[in-house]
Amino acid sequence: MWKFDKKISLIALTAFGLISCAAQQSGPVIQEDQHTTSAIGNVVDLDQGWTVDTQQSFYTTTQGSRILPYAWYLHLEQVNSQVLFRDNDNISRLKYLPSQKNRWNPDGLAVGFVKDIDKKTKEEWMGLTCSACHTAQISYKDIEMRIDGGPTMGDFEAFNIELVSAMSETYKNNQKFDRFSNQILGTHQTPNQKTALRNALLKQTEVLAKRNQINRPTADQPNYGYGRVDAIGAIFNQILAEFSGAPNNGRASNAPVSYPFLWGTHQSNVVQWPGFAPNGPLSLGALIRNGGEVLGVYGQLHIPDDPSIKQYKSSLSIKNLGLLEQWVAELRSPQWPAQHLPPIDPILAAKGEIHYQEYCSICHQVIARSDEGKPYNAVLTPLSEVKTDPQELINMLSTRPAGKFEGRKELVIAGDIIPAETSGLNPLVNAVVGALFDQPIDSIIAAIEEFEGGVAAASSSDGKNEAHESKLANLVQQYMAIREGLTLADQSISTSTEDNPVAVYKARPLNGIWATAPYLHNGSVPNLHEILLTQTERSATFHLGSREFDPIKVGYISSPNLIAGQAFKFDTSLLGNSNKGHEYGTTELTKPEKMELLEYMKML
């Protein structure tokens, strides 16, 4: 059934009639200082190349994440009060971004909290989309600036734990449940309906609680805190514990990292901090990256027991993943807003450019903002050289039983056979490709949209036939070709992570780096100023929780006495939190020269 053409090209796909001209954004591009649509408070946008329609669609388009039924989320109360869990004050406390109601978001959910509808059952779910984790907001004096594609400050771990607590208390507390039941079922509910709702609430609470327990098996595991998540750990646990039907196969998700900024992601040849996923030429790699991300944030997937079945039922919205990637391709870096922040000193910055060329550019190439839409090759720096925290790579390279994935081909119809003991990488690829094969025409359209930044002219029919599957098979074959030599999954696993030649972290262009604190892949350095210090000079502890920007050190203020409300203490001595490494130029440059370099980096 499956026939491969290793030479299939973009020209051939064009002949299939799948590509049309590039999609155009709807409406005028957002202007600098334009009030952010749907934002609460004095929030303005920066010019990042999006229109209002693109921005709001990015905030509200589902990718297939399903946490709990939508109506439940609308009416769920907080643990110790009758105030709704989704109340703006609670959302703000968790450092997500509350929103006003509008035509894109009729219920006024926070940025990235969206409705997902099951096409077959019509059930409505609340889940997360890209923007929940990739939208930032910084404050300076009396103004707040929205950074689209920037890293959230949201506390994902606390959100999960508190949500389960709220659901559990609603189940146990009769008065709280009665209020909940009246909202969901109405006042004319029958006893049987009420019992069924309570049982369903318990079942979903247990599902979410089990997930939390797998990712955080011991109470002494360091908290993620604001602006970090162990996405790879959570994804691997979903794949190898939950979807594989082996709950004891979980591992502590204890290597949280900062959320990468999104501008330039689409154009990079590889993605993820360890650079393990190739990203072209037809972006099946991006689909695998994005599909895996959905599975890590409550996407649903069924792995059939019969390995001969190539199609895996899932909640992934493949078409929407293509649209979301297309919008990210249009996104540009935020430029230093001199109308709100102290202006950049051009003389200092000019001197700093010289230092950047000497100490930084070999890994962090300089790309003009006008060229941000062009592809580039990221630099993969060995852990043995950069010497930053190794925990993410240690976890990624460790093995565990493959469960249902044992004996299956990595790319479902091609690739290496997954052995009995495996890292999570090959099962991840298998899981997402299997989900793609369940809806092949949508998969092809999304892959084309991602790479081309355009829309496909093909019909949106849900039909599945051999011709459609063959086209996707050709994409799989091409993905196999480009991943040779690029991915961790292809390499032998060394007993020493630091000495493993494929243990690398990705270095990317630093456009817009000023707006993406904290720094290093695990967020262990609070500002750009400290990146230029030796590891012994960096803060051993600092505090997160304020959006107030420090334009001198370039990052959020991190002194606890300056943070209003709840602050999170980041302790660099804890597992996964090391601030060591990346000391390039830190001993060679003088203090004045470091300030010159810092001034230049504001311009990127």
Tell whether the model's pLDDT for residue 288 goes beyond 90: no
Instruction: Measure Cα distances from 145 to 44, 136, 546 in Å.
Output: 5, 8, 14
With beta carbons less than 8 A apart as the criterion, state whether 240 and 246 touch: yes
Tell me phi and psi for residue 320, to 5 degrees. -70, -35
Tell whether the model's pLDDT for residue 155 goes beyond 70: yes
Look up residue 139 and give its two tokens.
């404050």
Q: pLDDT tens digits for 406-457? A: 999 988 888 889 999 999 988 998 999 899 888 766 655 655 555 454 333 3
More confident residue, 275 or 313: 313
Look up residue 130 and give its two tokens.
């890209």
Instruction: Measure Cα distances from 394 to 82, 117, 492, 503 in Å.
Output: 44, 37, 14, 9
Q: What is the pLDDT of residue 471?
A: 59
Instruction: Measure Cα distances from 485 to 5, 380, 447 in Å.
Output: 21, 12, 22
pTM confidence score: 0.89
Q: pLDDT tens digits for 539-597? A: 999 999 999 999 999 999 998 887 877 899 999 999 999 999 999 999 999 999 999 99
Q: Work out the percent of the chain whose per-residue pLDDT is above 70.
A: 83
More confident residue, 476 or 305: 305
Q: What is the pLDDT of residue 22?
A: 41
Most confident of 135-144, 413-422, 500-509: 135-144
Could you tell me the pLDDT band of residue 382, with boundaries at 50, 70 and 90? Answer: confident
Q: What is the pLDDT of residue 5?
A: 36
Q: What is the pLDDT of residue 25?
A: 75
Q: How far apart are CA 410 and CA 425, in angstroms?
A: 9
Lowest mean pLDDT among 120-129, 138-147, 470-479: 470-479
Q: pLDDT tens digits for 33-63? A: 999 999 999 999 999 999 999 999 999 999 9
DSSP structure class, residue 572: T
Tell whether the model's pLDDT for residue 277 goes beyond 90: no
Lowest mean pLDDT among 81-90, 105-114, 554-563: 554-563
Tell whether the model's pLDDT for residue 20 goes beyond 90: no
Cα 223 from chain centre: 18
Q: What is the pLDDT of residue 486?
A: 42
Q: How far apart are CA 274 and CA 537, in angstroms?
A: 26
Three-class SS of residue 400? Answer: strand
Q: How far apart are CA 17 and CA 456, in angstroms?
A: 8
Q: pLDDT tens digits for 228-245? A: 999 999 999 999 999 988
Q: What is the pLDDT of residue 478?
A: 56
